[in-house]
Structure 1
């Protein structure tokens, strides 16, 4: 190996190392810390109403999201498994933390079946502007092989019981935002989906989830004066295996919209190859 090749290799190693540590997640079960992270302008929180449901490692506060390619740099992460499992690179097709915990009744109603491993953050708030907005990204390990199956992991943002995490009239979920199974250029809202599945080639993003949505904005307009309830919830559906997560942008829970950041081009992991040629993919035993 000549000197120039050594320099290139060193640069590749440094780049891969920086990318692999770009997304950082600090787990917390403090509902107040989670709420404080997402609150923006024009919103007042009733801190006595905050209720967190989930394990100590199921939710967290993240940074470095832009480097990971998700379009949100920092905020909170709620998951149906372990929050730290979100950190890339994506070296496995079946990252799982099966908590064996209960689902959520509201989410059961959205997907027409039982859910498991629910992670919920609830609180009451008032807004001076009458409107509410916040930005989020949904990601999952269920992509792409379980698209259009019963393993339709789901989440919801319920304002006074009404889900505002929708695409059209459907809740955002595995089966409503995808590029098909097998992966193609079709599917449901394929133009809003980013593939990161090692089964379909070298993962492009420094994120452990196999796929994720573009940055979406949840909104509700014309809220009446007074106090309103907010419920953020995510869960596995069908069984407790294969994690899903929802990233919510810091300080975007506001009475005015926060412009989302454009998702950067996929990271160039091909410098190192990630040793994917020898990657062993373990499928779910159904």
Structure 2
């Protein structure tokens, strides 16, 4: 069992403590929503059509957000799925153990990649088609389990399952993203750190975010899908107990058929125009030099 205790618990109707009031200076704004239409419409981008939308989980565990860039998380707007309560996400980071136990069940897909039984699952599922046979989604994972439970056998779990296969992975690997695979070591001591370049510590008192640590923005991808309908399940859950919230932030309109990280290639006419303009400017400079000599 984890040594630290949860701030509050709901579901039984008994609150262990009152949720802290979000201060006026917080720039991250979270609006709770369990509407699958609202959630999906805030992440779907170009080249994607969707159908059969569904959400399961606590009503307050998910929602939309804005102000992420000002809060320092690297994604400005989109949706949030949590293992507890989404309104705990805005800073300041005034608790090492912020969380809500919703006393709900887990998810079988998450059970398959977790180190223990899951609970308090928040799951957004829908069917989709993609006009390129590829699909991409940009996200950030954040957790109150950072940094004191890194490599201690306690790790909440999340995944993006396209036709049953998880694509929420450490870039360039087949490794699931968690506090144990992206971190700066136990208690941020740098020892046995895993992919520290993808990790951000969030010190106590920081205004932007409540969670004690979070990843950089990562792009999940599924390439070479067959034409036609596919299914995606976006899910996050507690593992082992219902304490210490974790969250995944999904970028606005980033569930798309083209890579949001791809560098735009100039249109041919733009390149030609630049070359012509440069040549004309060079001729003009030569004429000016010649007139000065004369």
TM-score in terms of structure 1 length: 0.80
Whether contact under 8 Å (2:83, 2:247) holds in the other structure is yes
Quick one: which of 180, 191, 199 aligns to 1:193? 199
Cα separation, 2, equivalents of 1:20 and 1:190: 29
Cα separation, 2, equivalents of 1:75 and 1:142: 23
Q: CA deviation at 1:259?
A: 3.3
Q: How does 1:161-200 map to 2 (within 5 A)?
A: 161-167=164-170, 168-186=173-191, 187-198=193-204
Is the counterpart of residue 128 in structure 1 residue 131 in structure 2?
Answer: yes
Q: Highest relative contact order (Cα 8 Å, sep 6+), 1 or 2?
A: 1
Counterpart for residue 276 of structure 2: none
Q: CA deviation at 1:19?
A: 8.2
Q: How does 1:1-286 map to 2 (within 5 A)?
A: 20-46=25-51, 49-167=52-170, 168-186=173-191, 187-198=193-204, 203-204=205-206, 206-259=208-261
| Root mean square deviation, CA, Å | 1.6
Counterpart for residue 282 of structure 2: none
Cα separation, 1, equivalents of 2:70 and 2:257: 28
What secondary structure does 1:155 align onto?
strand
Unaligned stretches of 5+ residues in structure 1: 1-16, 261-286
TM-score in terms of structure 2 length: 0.78
Shift of the 143–75 alpha-carbon distance from structure 1 to 2, 3 Å rule, reads same
Shift of the 212–127 alpha-carbon distance from structure 1 to 2, 3 Å rule, reads same
Superposed CA offset, 1:90-146 (max 9, x none)? 011110101111111111110232011100000000011111011000000000011
Q: CA deviation at 1:204?
A: 4.3
What secondary structure does 1:38 align onto?
coil
Cα separation, 2, equivalents of 1:223 and 1:252: 18
Number of aligned residues: 238
What secondary structure does 1:222 align onto?
coil
